[in-house]
Structure formats: C-alpha cells, structure tokens
Amino acid sequence: MVLGNGSALDPDEILVSVNTAADQLGRGLLRARFKNTRHGEYEDTPSRPREARLTVQPGIHQVAGYFDIQWWTNGDYKYHYREHGLEFRFGCETANESTAYPVYHFHPPDDLGTHLQSCIGANHPPERVTRAVLATWWAAVQRGDEAVLNTQDGLP
C-alpha cells in the first residue's frame, strides 16, 4: 500500500491547500515552505511542489508545530502534524480499499501504525479537507488535548 496508489503528486492541489490554510489561519500561519524535488530541501518558493510544510502557531502543547501536506492526482492526501513530543496524521489512501484499513483514516498520536476511521468525510476537494483538518487541530489547541483530534462532528 502506498499513498497515491501509483499516481503522481499533484502540485496544484498542494498549493490550493496552502492557500486555504493561509486564508483560514491568517497570522497563525508562520511560514509555508515547499519541497520541489524528491530529495530536495524545503524552499520558500514553490515551483512544482511535492510537499508543503506549514509552520503554525500555537501548537497543541508547544509554541508552534507544523503540517506536512501532500496530494496525489488520484485524490489521496496526507496531512501530517508534528510538534515536539506529538504527531498525528489524517489521510486518504485509495489502496486501502482492498484491505481492512479505512480509506479515509486518522493515525492517532503515539500510534501512527493504527488506522482509525477519519471524522473527515469522503470525496472532498483540498479546500474542504484543509479546513476540516485545521478545525480538528484547532479544537485540540483550544483544549490543550490531542484526544479530541478525531472526534468532531459536522466536518465535510
């Protein structure tokens, strides 16, 4: 199983996600950087990004954290959040259709090998998925508790 299920990364959808996050977070988005080549460093300017790294504040337990975001042309995505001592991931992985794992899933903190059904709905464009991921993160920030990350109702 691999994200993208053999399809290419989608730089346009990655940029849509970054722009949506910038609109949603305002000054809470400290920095957006882009990995433009497979093994390259993060850069300030996107050309054909393979991944975006968004540094956000505040963090859930720290001053700040960051999201690594990827989208594939088949609609798969990954939003991987990290801050010191905490990480989690929301994803869509169509390759999971032939497994016991949910296609739309959440990897909880401290157990990234576990695939729980995501509270984020299916078949949504990057704008809606980005807003939903940020809503789950913000709920955890407000409570200072990562246990609420995948518990929201009414998300896309």
pLDDT tens-place string over residues 11-28: 999 999 999 999 999 999
Please tell me the predicted confidence (pLDDT) of residue 67.
98
The overall average pLDDT reported for the chain is: 94
Residues 87-110 as b/e (b if ≥16 CB within 10 A, e otherwise) read bbbbbbbbbbeeeeebbbbbbbbe
Determine phi and psi for 19, rounding to 5 degrees: -65, -40
**Cis check: omega of the bond before 108, within 30 degrees of 0:** no
Q: Where are the alpha helices (DSSP H) in the chain?
A: 11-25, 126-143
What parts of the chain have a pLDDT lower than 70?
1-2
Please tell me the predicted confidence (pLDDT) of residue 2.
67
- C-alpha 79/C-alpha 127 separation (Å) is 13
Q: pTM score, two decimals?
A: 0.95
Please tell me the predicted confidence (pLDDT) of residue 5.
79
Please tell me the predicted confidence (pLDDT) of residue 153.
87
